[in-house]
Structure 1
Amino acid sequence: MAKKTLAEKMAENSKSVVEALKTNTIGSFSSTENIKKNIIILNELKELIPPLLETEFLALKDNLQKHGCKDPLKVWQTNNNNIGITESPEEIVYVLIDGHNRFQLCNELKIPFNIQIDNFESITEVRNFMIDFQLSRRNITPQQASYLRGIRYNTEKKLVSNNLISNKDTEAIFPDGQNVHLENSLILNDANANLKVHLDNDISPDGQNVHLGSSNKKTTAQELGEYFKVDEKTIRRDADFARGLDKLSPEIRKEILAGQIKVEKTKIQRIGKAKEVNEPINSLDEIETIFQNLTKEPSISVNKNPKSEKLVHERYLKLTESLNKAYESKTAKEINALKVAFNKFLEALS
């Protein structure tokens, strides 16, 4: 059976979102109350729900008290194995995937609620569904939408890399820096053994993608851009933004996404690109310090040894002399002499 393309999977998710927006209930309620009492909340899924401002949370609370919980909460029927629990791996569990704020308030206020059970093959499918579902809502902010699109892109890229590894496909970089996607029929032999295997990105330094045997194949960013109706460059910036936010502590990330604190998006994106930033960032001051360090121009360190300082000064005088001669004569000979003097000056600095 042919593997479904990303576009096909997204189309299916889109249909699921439409269906989920309709009021739905379970066919039989014989075990509903037992399910309600044993609903599981996974932090990695809960974090996909854009945080509410305090005013929004209070408005939701007031609405539930006045009108009750009209729309059913969505739960994923799965087993312990699919959510990483090794004990009793085949035991059926029910994971909350939509309605986290309503679930909290209904339990606190003793307000009855209904549930809708959905089936997904993996937690990755659940994450993608939740992202699509949240992006379909009108009250989502631009930053929240950017974060969710970025998560979606990073997830898809990880899946692509894993598939390439499992299928023994290879993406390589030629010496000129261009990424080339090699199909199964192409085998790396002695003639191209100097190619460097690379699975982290699908874009070369000049922004071009090269696909051998599949010249019309779209990149993940292009597919998601079309799906979410934004430019592919926006998707890539969203990915950096999501990676940057994920390097923050959950508290700071939540406050930024809720609009409670303001941080320039470009700073978060720059942090997202930095592979050397791995520890959780816990404050705005840390964000600013790390950003300044990442964007700081590298300084040339000069040995303070007196002999070294004298050498640097001599080279500087020689460089100045060569510069004046080259400027006055404008001959190839003097220009070459300037190049030699400049290189020697750099050597003295190192």
Structure 2
Amino acid sequence: MTQTLRIDPEFKAQIPPLTQEERKQLEENILAEGELLAPILVWNGAIVDGHNRYEILQSHPEIPCSVRNLELETRDEVLVWICKHQLGRRNLTPEQKKFLMGKQYDAEKQADGFHGNQHTRPVPSADAQNEHQQTAEKTCERIARENHISASAVRRAALFAAGVDLAEELCPGIRQRVLSGDLKAPDALFERLAKAGPEEYAVLLEQIKNPQSRSKPAAKQKLFQTEKSSSSEPMLAPHQGESKLVPEEASSLYSQLADASTAMQERWSTIFKQMPTLLTDSKQRKAIQAILEKHLAYLASLGFDLSSVMTESKGEQSA
């Protein structure tokens, strides 16, 4: 290896690390071939894709370093490329996928609004700001379609990613624990951290690092509800006391469930448009019916009254 390449911390941070087994297998493959089968991709001398291959070559200088330059104009375009490339991997954790989608959305917004650096960029007019906002919305919707989720889920992914990055600044090493799934903290905490002021950082970071401690108040609330239900007084309906009786992140969880439902509907609609016979062919409809029955059985097992839902739905359609 004769070339010296630069490691850009931000570029590298977007790339999920390999497991020990994956890295070992990659090194064995490189040694067996005696060369890199895929070149290391660089931009302005910085590695964009191939950090692990480059690190392996450091220990095996006899193997030539194959490099290819990416023809991209801006740093934000490079970040978009990295995120989209990594989202194509199949072994991502849910946290990694959400982080990459959020980073892609943010980078694309920055790239769309780029017209020079911070010193040469003109102050945008009201019309330009409105146009940029519309472009951002279109970008959000496109990323949502590409990943079969809702647009609001993409916007929350951007907040999640910003919160994870800020947590990493405050506590180096925590990003890897979160994205690998080793540290399970509610998404709402990262969203709050992204929007919080410096005076709130310490409290939120402690809650992220010790998510178990946040479950205790909720447990007390559940006990309170149980005790009250055994008394002669009627218990309030969940929606009436919701703001006091559920954790702060409940609203975010509701949104995530709604997003999942919307994404399912959008995905099914896309499939039906691509293959209309799924709705017209009796055998294919029977197969889909079986899929739906499994889904409905799952919801019924959770205690939901599906008969009332279907009745309300029919009433709305006939109105």
Give the TM-score, by structure 2 length.
Answer: 0.53
CA distance in 2, matches of 1:52, 1:129: 19
CA distance in 2, matches of 1:142, 1:160: 27
Runs of at least 5 residues in structure 1 that lack an aligned partner in the other structure: 1-32, 79-93, 172-180, 184-198, 203-210, 297-350
Amino acid of the structure 2 residue aligned with 1:71: A
Return the match for 1:253 from 175, 186, 189. Answer: 175
Q: Which residue of 2 aligns with 1:39?
A: 5
Amino acid of the structure 2 residue aligned with 1:65: L
The answer to whether the 8 Å contact 2:74/2:111 transfers is: no
55-64 or 97-106, larger mean C-alpha shift: 55-64
The answer to whether the 8 Å contact 1:150/1:238 transfers is: yes
Higher strand share: 1
Q: How does 1:266-277 map to 2 (within 5 A)?
A: 266-276=188-198
Q: Is 1:55 aligned to residue 55 of structure 2?
A: no
Q: Is 1:119 aligned to residue 71 of structure 2?
A: yes
CA distance in 2, matches of 1:118, 1:278: 41
Runs of at least 5 residues in structure 2 that lack an aligned partner in the other structure: 116-120, 219-319
Q: Is 1:222 aligned to residue 141 of structure 2?
A: yes
Give CA deviations for 1:247-293 in whole Å, capped at 9, x if unaligned: 1224110222233433333332332232446869997666448x96x
Q: What RMSD over aligned residues (CA atoms) do the two structures have, in Å?
A: 3.7
Flag the 1:286–1:242 CA change in 2: closer, same or farther, 3 A.
closer
Amino acid of the structure 2 residue aligned with 1:130: I
Flag the 1:48–1:218 CA change in 2: closer, same or farther, 3 A.
closer
Amino acid of the structure 2 residue aligned with 1:99: G
How many residues align? The count is 205
Amino acid of the structure 2 residue aligned with 1:45: F
Shift of residue 147, structure 1, vs aligned partner: 0.4
The answer to whether the 8 Å contact 1:73/1:114 transfers is: yes
CA distance in 2, matches of 1:282, 1:105: 38
Give CA deviations for 1:217-263 in whole Å, capped at 9, x if unaligned: 94442232124332101101201110110112241102222334333
CA distance in 2, matches of 1:222, 1:135: 17
The answer to whether the 8 Å contact 1:252/1:282 transfers is: no
SS in 2 for 1:246: helix
Flag the 1:268–1:286 CA change in 2: closer, same or farther, 3 A.
closer
Amino acid of the structure 1 residue aligned with 2:15: I
Q: Which residue of 1 aligns with 2:88?
A: 136
CA distance in 2, matches of 1:270, 1:279: 10
Q: Is 1:154 aligned to residue 120 of structure 2?
A: no
The answer to whether the 8 Å contact 2:6/2:46 transfers is: yes
Flag the 1:162–1:40 CA change in 2: closer, same or farther, 3 A.
closer
CA distance in 2, matches of 1:55, 1:280: 36
CA distance in 1, matches of 2:146, 2:208: 35
CA distance in 2, matches of 1:278, 1:96: 36
Q: How does 1:183-198 map to 2 (within 5 A)?
A: none
Q: Which residue of 1 aligns with 2:50?
A: 99
CA distance in 2, matches of 1:52, 1:133: 15
Amino acid of the structure 2 residue aligned with 1:125: E
Flag the 1:182–1:129 CA change in 2: closer, same or farther, 3 A.
closer
CA distance in 2, matches of 1:113, 1:276: 44
Higher helix share: 2
The answer to whether the 8 Å contact 2:98/2:161 transfers is: yes
Shift of residue 105, structure 1, vs aligned partner: 1.0
Return the match for 2:150 from 231, 256, 259. Answer: 231
Flag the 1:168–1:268 CA change in 2: closer, same or farther, 3 A.
closer
Return the match for 2:39 from 58, 72, 76. Answer: 72
Q: Is 1:170 aligned to residue 129 of structure 2?
A: no
